[in-house]
Amino acid sequence: MIDCCIFCQVYLLSMWCTTIYLSLTIICLQYNACNVNALENGLALKPPMGWMSWQRYRCIIDCDTYPYECISEWLFKNATDHIVANGYKEAGYEYVIIDDCWMEMERDPVTQELVPDRKRFPSGMKALADYVHSKGLKFGIYEDYGTHTCMGYPGVINHMELDAQTFGKWDVDYVKLDGCYADIMDMNKGYPEFGRLLNETGRPMVYSCSWPVYQEEKGLMPNYEALKKHCNLWRNWDDIQDSYESLNKITEYFAVNASRIQPNAGPGHWNDPDMLLIGNYGLTVDQSKSQMAIWAILAAPLLMSTDLKNIRPEFREILINQNVIDVNQDALGIQGSRLRVECKIETWVRPINPIINGAHSYAVAWASKRDDGSPCVYSSKLKDLGLTYDKGYEVTDLFDEDHDFDHIFRTNTNITVRVNPSGVQFYKFTPIQ
Ligand SMILES: *[C@@H]1O[C@H](CO)[C@@H](O)[C@H](O)[C@H]1NC(C)=O
Ligand SMILES: *[C@@H]1O[C@H](CO)[C@@H](O)[C@H](O)[C@H]1NC(C)=O
Ligand SMILES: *[C@@H]1O[C@H](CO)[C@@H](O)[C@H](O)[C@H]1NC(C)=O
């Protein structure tokens, strides 16, 4: 397994010939042999699912003017209520996660503990965690490895042990540790150290690290073996912003840099392309389906960040689409990748369960980056997608259960899709018995 892994990595880095590249990519995806030495806290065996405040609510702290949008205990209680009442919990969304701007600007002068903003979180974090837990969900919080958080609140540096203990005491289940105002050279040591301190609290907490993005932005390649060993997930690249353009930049990063990113994902340790934009201002319905499908292929954490009390039903349906979520949460935990781009149609492939007679099932997404008005017709032979099981495959349309395929698709069969401009077609191929 390990030999295959090294072989695959060297191979993917050095090879150009597309056909050979294609078939070897598929083999490498299937073996995904790099799962050695992972963080053993028993958490995030599937990509975490939940709701996080940042993308939609940023650092709104003026509760007098924006009572329903400011970062406050009400906001998180209300999100909790909606997750439970409107089918998100049932679909698998579990963590309610506070991002930046929850703190007072100063630590407690006596204990040096972090203090939640007294006006916006009057009941304190333990009470909020209790509320979230009482609804059967889990509670996440944000901090920063540096001197300050990105928005200028106190960071954990010099108080790492105390802060880890504080999170344990508050019954936190998930910690996102950002990397603003920090020395990127200290991170290789400091992030594992904070992980060790979290572990020492005795409370299992998912550990989300931001260290690769800060290093890579400055041209330093992250140490993925260390990431897998110390973190359950990590942000590889830029923050997502509320636009299709931003979404495309991020997917392009994961497509182009797949050879060094993809092998690091697996149960307990995931690459994180950042939050879902779905339900907000920047994406159309088609673009939202496209994000959801590509996040499923990438085995990405599914972290919604939208106003669940006002979300339009068509966006809610995308977020709770069980077929797509099942691909995302596939227990094999093999991250997929983009196989090719042809006439601005991107083909993304991920091997998934069930495995029948030794052959994997596959999720395949065709994402259009076209803008020429009408849907684009695009055909591929199954074997060119890496689908080589001789008896053939049954096909299901993951976004459209009424779409009936009346025959078995064999390796030489062409599959033809019609993809809306900036939309996606997302199918599952299951080997027949
Ligand atoms: C959350 O908001 C909804 C609708 O706006 C409301 O019905 C519900 O009671 C709120 N929950 C809390 C805890 O305030
Ligand atoms: C702490 O780490 C040990 C060794 O990896 C692991 O067995 C244990 O479950 C961890 N505990 C927590 C609370 O994460
Ligand atoms: C791939 O990674 C390199 C190194 O960080 C980066 O410079 C480049 O922009 C990435 N490619 C894309 C398309 O984002």
Question: What are 187-240's pLDDT values in tens digits?
Answer: 999 999 999 999 999 999 999 999 999 999 999 999 999 999 999 999 999 999
Quick one: how far is CA 1 from the chain centroid?
Answer: 26
DSSP, res 116: B
Here the tokens at position 238 are: 């830029």
Question: Of the candidates 328, 350, 385, which is a domain's last residue?
Answer: 328
Residues 390 and 252 in one domain: no
Question: Of the candidates 287, 310, 328, which is a domain's last residue?
Answer: 328
The confidence score (pLDDT) of residue 20 equals 46
Residues 343 and 317 in one domain: no
Residue 356's contacts (CB-CB under 8 Å, 6 or more residues apart) are 389, 430, 431, 432, 433
**What are the pLDDT digits (tens) for 133-174?**
999 999 999 999 999 999 999 999 999 999 999 999 999 999
- 25 Cα–ligand 3 center, Å: 19
Query: Any idea how long the chain is?
Result: 433
The confidence score (pLDDT) of residue 221 equals 96
CB 289 within 8 A of CB 399: yes
CA distance 150 to 64: 24
Residues 397 and 312 in one domain: no
Residues 324 and 342 in one domain: no
CA distance 233 to 265: 9
CATH of the domain at 105: 3.20.20.70
| Residue 29 resides in a domain | yes
Share the mean pLDDT of the chain. Answer: 93
| Residue 130 resides in a domain | yes
For a mutational test of ligand 3's pocket, the pick from 240, 256, 260, 337, i.e. the residue with the most ligand atoms closer than 8 A to its C-beta, is 256
Residue with CA closest to ligand 2 atom 10: 41
Q: Output the CA–CA distances (angstroms, integers) from residue 289 to 47, 77, 238, 350, 400, in the order listed.
A: 18, 28, 21, 17, 12
The dihedrals phi and psi of 335, each to the nearest 5 degrees, come to -75, 140
| Residue 193 resides in a domain | yes
Residue with CA closest to ligand 2 atom 4: 40
The pLDDT confidence band at residue 16, using thresholds 50, 70 and 90, is very low
- 253 Cα–ligand 3 center, Å: 6
| Residue 3 resides in a domain | no
Indicate if the pLDDT at residue 33 is higher than 50.
no
**Atom number in ligand 3 closest to CA 219:** 5
Residue 198's contacts (CB-CB under 8 Å, 6 or more residues apart) are 164, 167, 168, 175, 205, 207
Residue with CA closest to ligand 1 atom 6: 78
Question: Of the candidates 328, 348, 369, which is a domain's last residue?
Answer: 328
Residue with CA closest to ligand 3 atom 11: 253
Residue with CA closest to ligand 1 atom 13: 78
Residues 392 and 307 in one domain: no
**Atom number in ligand 2 closest to CA 203:** 13
| Residue 408 resides in a domain | yes
Q: Is 238 in the pocket of ligand 3 (CB under 6 A)?
A: no
Quote the domain boundaries for residue 322. Answer: 49-328
Residue with CA closest to ligand 3 atom 9: 253
Percent of the chain with pLDDT over 70: 92
- 230 Cα–ligand 2 center, Å: 11
| Residue 364 resides in a domain | yes
CA distance 431 to 354: 8
The confidence score (pLDDT) of residue 10 equals 40
- 291 Cα–ligand 3 center, Å: 20
Indicate if the pLDDT at residue 262 is higher than 60.
yes
The pLDDT confidence band at residue 29, using thresholds 50, 70 and 90, is low
CB 177 within 8 A of CB 191: yes
CB 307 within 8 A of CB 381: no
| Residue 6 resides in a domain | no
- State whether residue 396 is helix, strand or coil: strand
Indicate if the pLDDT at residue 353 is higher than 60.
yes
What sections of 298-433 are H helices per DSSP?
A: 313-319, 322-328
- 75 Cα–ligand 1 center, Å: 9
Residues 246 and 385 in one domain: no
Residues 306 and 380 in one domain: no
| Residue 44 resides in a domain | no
Query: Measuring CA to CA, which residue among 395, 397, 385, 402 is closest to residue 426?
Result: 397
Q: Which residues line ligand 1 (CB under 6 A)?
A: 77-78, 81, 309
Residues 270 and 368 in one domain: no
The pLDDT confidence band at residue 18, using thresholds 50, 70 and 90, is very low
Q: Is 248 in the pocket of ligand 3 (CB under 6 A)?
A: no
The confidence score (pLDDT) of residue 11 equals 41
Residue 100 annotated as catalytic: no
DSSP, res 392: -
User: pTM for the complete prediction?
Assistant: 0.93
Residue 157's contacts (CB-CB under 8 Å, 6 or more residues apart) are 145, 146, 147, 182, 190
Residue with CA closest to ligand 1 atom 10: 78
Lowest model confidence (mean pLDDT) among 17-31, 45-59, 194-208, 378-392: 17-31
Q: Is 341 in the pocket of ligand 3 (CB under 6 A)?
A: no
- State whether residue 426 is helix, strand or coil: strand
Active-site residue, selected from the candidate residues 117, 163, 173, 178: 178
Q: Is 117 in the pocket of ligand 3 (CB under 6 A)?
A: no
- 67 Cα–ligand 1 center, Å: 12
Residues 118 and 246 in one domain: yes
Residues 287 and 412 in one domain: no
Residues 100 and 229 in one domain: yes
- 87 Cα–ligand 1 center, Å: 15
Q: Is 216 in the pocket of ligand 3 (CB under 6 A)?
A: yes
Residues 257 and 367 in one domain: no
Active-site residue, selected from the candidate residues 186, 238, 239, 397: 239
CA distance 431 to 433: 7
Please give the order of strands across the beta sheet that includes 233-235: 270-272, 233-235, 206-209, 174-178, 138-144, 95-97, 49-52, 302-304
**Burial label, 239 (beta-carbon count in 10 A; 0-12, 13-18, 19+):** middle
Beta bridge mates, 177: 143, 209
Long-range contacts of 104-112 (CB under 8 A, 24+ apart): 104/153, 105/152, 105/153, 105/154, 106/154, 107/154, 107/159, 112/159, 112/162
Q: Domain count of the chain?
A: 2
Long-range contacts of 220-224 (CB under 8 A, 24+ apart): 220/184, 221/260, 223/188, 224/260, 224/263, 224/264
CATH of the domain at 423: 2.60.40.1180
| For the CA of 218, the nearest ligand | 3
CA distance 135 to 78: 11
Residue 178 annotated as catalytic: yes
